[in-house]
Amino acid sequence: MPLESIPEFTHPAAKLWKAIPADTRKLILANVWCGKCSHGVTIRNFSGAVKGGNLLLVGKCSDCHGDVARVVESK
């Protein structure tokens, strides 16, 4: 999935996401904790929203296809 293709992001979320360097974004997407797998997984089919000033990514685990989420804290 191309990193620039983010149709499921709200506008504020897309703005925060685009402000993150591409390399960091790749690391974030490849290191999402899955409670079912009990290890870091790659998030798939994710969407983005802003919660409490932080970017929240919600998507599916690449291994078990369960729901996973990751908060990206903005500095």
Residue 19 beta carbon to Zn ion: minimum distance, rounded to whole angstroms: 28
Site for Zn ion in 21-50 (CB under 5 A): 34, 36-37
> How much helix, strand and coil, in percent to the nearest 5, is found in the chain?
25, 40, 35
Write down the residue that tokens 């996973």 correspond to: 68
DSSP classification of residue 66: -
Residue 37 beta carbon to Zn ion: minimum distance, rounded to whole angstroms: 3
Element (H, E) at 2: none
Candidate ranges 2-10, 13-21, 43-51, 65-73; the one touching Zn ion (CB under 5 A): 65-73
Interface with Zn ion (CB under 5 A): 34, 36-37, 61, 63-64, 66
